Amino acid sequence: MEFQRFRVKHPHDNSEVRMVNILVHWQPEKTDRILLCAHYDTLPYPLHDPENPHGRFIGANDNAGGVALLMELASDIPNIKSKYGIDFLLLDGEEFIFNEHQDPFFIGSEYFAERLRQESA
């Protein structure tokens, strides 16, 4: 298991926010690999709530579903004979959005991709 720790600036006050991608390798010795991804973070606010767009909410819908799917797949992986290794990537910072018209989406994905690019250069 690998933790990709990184920090981003909070859009409101420029404070540092710690984030971490979690990467789990199954059969890491295999060079041909499949990458399966899901994000585990959620929006800080319910942006499309017409009554309270900056209120509190439980945001465990799409993120929990993606992580649950990867967990279920991982439980069956030992029973599968494959020429491929599998990497499970749980992404942070995909929905660190306070203003959807100006804040970047996919922070964890971009961090992962840039790190992968640097490692393979």
What are the pLDDT digits (tens) for 18-64? 999 999 999 999 999 999 999 999 888 888 888 888 887 777 666 88
pTM for this entry: 0.90
pLDDT, mean over the chain: 91
Residue 112: give the domain boundaries: 2-120
Number of structural domains found in the chain = 1
Share of the chain above pLDDT 70, in %: 98
Instruction: State the CATH number of the domain containing residue 79.
Output: 3.40.630.10
What mean pLDDT do residues 84-88 have?
Answer: 96
SS3 of residue 8 by DSSP: strand
Q: Is the pLDDT of residue 91 over 90?
A: yes
* Whole-number pLDDT of residue 78: 86
